[in-house]
Chain A
Amino acid sequence: MMEKPHVEVKGLTVTARNAAGERFPIVSGIDFALQRGEVLALIGESGSGKTTIALTLLGHARPGATIAGGSIRVGDAEISTLDRSALAELRGNRIAYIAQSAASAFNPSRTIMDQVIEPAMIHGLMPRATAEAKAVDLFRALALPFPDTIGARYPHQLSGGQLQRLMAAMALITDPELVILDEPTTALDVTTQIEVLRAFKAVVLERGATAIYVSHDLAVVAQMADQIVVLSQGRIREAGAAAQILHAPADDYTRTLMAAARPAIRPTPVKVALPAAAPLLEIRNVTAGYGRIGKDGLPRVPVLRNINLTIERGGTLGVIGESGSGKSTIARVIAGLLRPASGQVLLDGEPLPPGLDGRSREQFRRIQLVFQNADTALNPAHSVGQILARPLAFYAGLKGNAAHLRVLELLDLIRLPASLIDRNIGGLSGGQKQRVNLARALAADPQIILCDEVTSALDTVVGAAILELMAELRRELGIATMFISHDISTVRAICDDILVLYSGTMVETGPRTAFATAPFHPYTNLLIGSVPEMRTGWLEESHAGAAPPPIGAAGDHPDLCRFLPRCAARVDGLCNITPPPRHGLDKGSAGASRILCHHGDESLIAS
């Protein structure tokens, strides 16, 4: 007979009040159980109720919501019957919570150590010195740099990935019976995510913690969970052991999720043969950044260095890199929002004025920008109709009925019902907003659209639909796209050419096919190797993000490889002394890419 489960949820129902004041369920009929030391994953899209369920384990319902029925048992405590003070005794002590954004969960005016040991202090579990010693142990276990002194720092001095691990230390300091992790790696770069996942996994194994892991990413969950519960619209679609869900999903919805997580490679649209003309868009030797331009021609905070790229008519270029690599800055330079310190942007062979001033309305029309976050990119004071009509009036002088008809056409093009035309932005879902955001760019009838992380803020299923729509529009309208993303699998699926950016320098460029076959630049290799695969055990096998070989002090040459501190293939005496050359990397039938590295084909494969 199986022992009694450590955590058991039965028939859980949470209700909320709608605008008319009626109660309706947001999650209902939730049952699951997990044994001590197990990790259970709650997976689903936003709005599926996964966070709502996770919070009920803390006895918490968000404002407006109420735990209406069912039982929640953690150890010997029946959560739903406890009063406020009993819950306060439990929270942060026997049950701990790790939130999605550690950066906003830390108090910027107190040191890390103060905040990490706070749960132990509040609950009076141990003297301060013991708690601090324990925290240092945890820092070490979580593979944080300088475990002995990191506690004296303030949150702004640390990176997002480090804060996320520190938050885990905060949760684990009281040796909780249950840890709830709410999308703890969603806001991180893949390369950081893998480090954080490793640290979490090691600690969970070592301490035998029981955990509930909330995520929308099946591949991440595959690395962490023993059991998976798939949720949709507040109900359980499928529940079972991780391996079964991943390899033999029984439910249609689970299969949709799996399909959306890995975008299919789309066939390259047939390019119309054009007379040998200048490429649609060309960037020559652009260096850009923020602050005053110094004597050496570099701005005070340089972001981009010597960027060269071309986009053909109807082509797609993918730009990938970690956050802070300067991806969005390229789009801002092309759109004229940021003046480059040096270099040129050419549209159809004609140099564009560097800033906004001096560009003609026609030049503005041909380049359109689509921002990542449709919530902030669409003016909340305007209706869908107003937003789409503005470019029509501004560029083409369309007014009245003609404009109205064109707006309806555009709505049809992006598959939104015409009835949304008078709706305010606040009344749209995330996917609908992103479609309107895209339609506004299309309204200008542009030649090139600069898409800045357009799917990053969306659920996988919704994001996949947007990508599908974009591919279709490209086929039908022949619009060129620059697609900025941090997700290499998306970029590989939809782009003709790919540019990999690291810290403002181009480290590898080439056609899509070249990014499917090794060898790669060491950084590209790290990016590709950090994307979790949809199977259990991948995390243990992966070598991505392992410590680089030791190396002597770096020279002071300004053009040294910028990836040097993190490179797994670096060579002492070469990489830290001489700037790397840019050279071709032949991959046979897959085409060739150009990389900025000392290594050639053979040595890269060997490493």
Chain B
Amino acid sequence: MIASAFKRAKTLPLSGKVGLTLVLFWLAVALFGPMLAPYPVGAFVAYDVFEGQSAAHWLGSDYLGRDVLSRLLSGARYTVGLAAAAAMLASATGTALALTAAVGGAKVEEPLSRFMDMLISIPSKIFSLVLVAAFGSSLPLLLLIAAITYVPGNYRIARALAVNLAQMDYVQVARARGEGRFHIAITEILPNMIHPLLADFGLRFVFIVLLLSGLSFLGLGVQPPDADLGSLVRENISGLGEGALAILAPAVAIATLTVGVNLLIDALPGRGKGR
């Protein structure tokens, strides 16, 4: 299993290898970061705010004199974990509903599609603001908000793919064979839309990272003293003028994480290759 995964990784193009490295790096940080952090998350350990790089503080200190490296190592798990979970939830729900619509006929598809249109018309930031205001910010709520916000987009793409595939001759053959709708959706249609859906997953993941970071930036996301990458950018915004490491480091972290995920997904061998 590990050997074959390693073998497949070796066949990736360079961009895929870079992406894979970045993704593995951030996964490792999410898993082991807090253990590696040199200082506690909320401890005031530096003598000055917005200190530069030094032996004691590799990434300097933040606006309150806390260690940026420690906060980054602890914060990454919120961003990576929440975004990955929410993207999976959104993609799984959206795709399942799309397949239902594609094989279910107009009676299922119409109400479902109109409901999705309704969801998509709600501005995501406002939707999150209302929910956070009503229920207070918590991790499960953030997860749910991010997932609900991105279900309709995934549904749209998956439905467009599935409806096209449902017209293919092999689906007609399966229908004429007497196959049930579930079999057609899962074995005939789904395997042929995996690659575009993975690309879509990558996009959703990035959107969710940005949404969560945006919420944190507004102070509605992960609550202090904990912080995700977005909150780290926000709380150190006053250091922007002096180009402090405290704001550059989390910003670069968000960038490498999202770019890495997309490089990896784009490089995965898709249909058409090897044909």
Residues of A within 8 A of B (CB): 335-337, 356, 359, 361, 364-365, 367-369, 371, 373, 376-382, 390-391, 394, 426, 440, 444
Contacts and interface: CB of A to CB of B under 8 A. Distances in A.
B275 A376 contact: no
A373 B173 CA distance: 12
B169 A377 contact: yes
A202 to B, nearest CB: 39
Contacts of B173: 369, 371, 377, 440
Given A376-B169, A376-B170, A381 B192 contact: yes
Interface of B: 168-170, 172-173, 175-179, 187-188, 191-192, 271, 274-275
Contact of A356 (B170, B178, B187, B191): B178
A378 B170 contact: yes
A380 B271 contact: yes
Nearest to B271: A380
B176 A373 contact: no
A390 B271 CA distance: 22
B170 A364 contact: no
Contacts of A336: 176
B168 to A, nearest CB: 6
A371 B169 contact: yes
A289 to B, nearest CB: 18
Interface centre among B177, B179, B274, by most A CB within 10 Å? Answer: B177
A377 B170 contact: yes
Given A356-B176, A426-B274, 16 more contacts: A337-B172, A337-B176, A359-B178, A364-B177, A365-B178, A376-B169, A377-B169, A377-B173, A379-B188, A380-B192, A381-B192, A382-B187, A394-B178, A394-B179, A426-B275, A444-B177
Contacts of B168: 376
A337 B192 contact: no
A440 B271 CA distance: 23
B192 to A, nearest CB: 5
Contacts of B169: 371, 373, 376-377
Interface centre among B168, B170, B179, by most A CB within 10 Å? Answer: B170
Contacts of B178: 356, 359, 361, 364-365, 394
A322 B178 CA distance: 30
Contacts, number: 51
8 contacts: A336-B176, A369-B172, A371-B172, A376-B169, A380-B271, A382-B191, A394-B177, A440-B173
A87 B176 CA distance: 52
A426 B192 CA distance: 13
Chain B contact residues, majority secondary structure: helix
Contacts of B187: 379, 382
A379 B170 contact: yes
Nearest to A335: B176
Contact of B175 (A356, A361, A365, A378): A356
A391 B191 CA distance: 19
A555 B149 CA distance: 61
A381 B187 CA distance: 9
A359 B175 CA distance: 11
Contacts of B191: 379, 381-382
B184 to A, nearest CB: 10
A378 B168 CA distance: 9
Contacts of A376: 168-170
Contact of A379 (B176, B192, B274): B192
A359 B178 CA distance: 8
Task: In the A-B complex, list the 5 residue pairs whose CB atoms are closest, starting with the nearest.
Answer: A381-B191, A364-B178, A377-B169, A426-B275, A335-B176
A381 B189 CA distance: 9
A8 B191 CA distance: 50
A367 B275 CA distance: 32
Nearest to B272: A426
A339 to B, nearest CB: 13
A359 B179 CA distance: 11
Contacts of B192: 379-381
Contacts of B177: 364, 368, 390-391, 394, 444
Contacts of B188: 379
B174 to A, nearest CB: 8
A371 B187 CA distance: 19
Contacts of A426: 274-275
Contact of A364 (B172, B176, B271, B275): B176
A548 B187 CA distance: 53
A179 B176 CA distance: 46
Contacts of A373: 169
B173 to A, nearest CB: 6
Nearest to A360: B178
Contacts of B170: 376-379
A368 B275 CA distance: 28
Contacts of B271: 380
Interface centre among A361, A426, A444, by most B CB within 10 Å? Answer: A426
Contacts of A371: 169, 172-173
Contacts of A367: 176
Contacts of A364: 176-178
A427 to B, nearest CB: 8
A386 B178 CA distance: 17
Nearest to A387: B170
B73 to A, nearest CB: 41
A250 B188 CA distance: 49
Nearest to B192: A381
A156 B168 CA distance: 23
Nearest to B191: A381
A356 B187 CA distance: 19
A244 B169 CA distance: 43
A336 B168 CA distance: 16
Nearest to B168: A376
A440 B187 CA distance: 16
A379 B192 CA distance: 8
A381 B168 CA distance: 13
B12 to A, nearest CB: 16
Contacts of A365: 178
A17 to B, nearest CB: 15
A379 B176 CA distance: 15
Nearest to A437: B173
A391 B174 CA distance: 9
Nearest to A426: B275
Contacts of A380: 192, 271
A330 to B, nearest CB: 14
A485 to B, nearest CB: 17
Nearest to B274: A426
Nearest to A377: B169
Contacts of B176: 335-337, 356, 364, 367-369
B203 to A, nearest CB: 23
A336 B175 CA distance: 9
A305 B187 CA distance: 37
A80 to B, nearest CB: 30
A367 B175 CA distance: 12
Contacts of A335: 176
Nearest to A361: B178
A367 B192 CA distance: 27
A516 B86 CA distance: 69
Contacts of A378: 170
A356 B178 CA distance: 7
Contacts of A381: 191-192
B196 to A, nearest CB: 13
A111 B117 CA distance: 37
Interface centre among A359, A364, A381, A382, by most B CB within 10 Å? Answer: A381
A400 to B, nearest CB: 18
B224 to A, nearest CB: 48
B158 to A, nearest CB: 16
B25 to A, nearest CB: 31
A391 B173 CA distance: 11
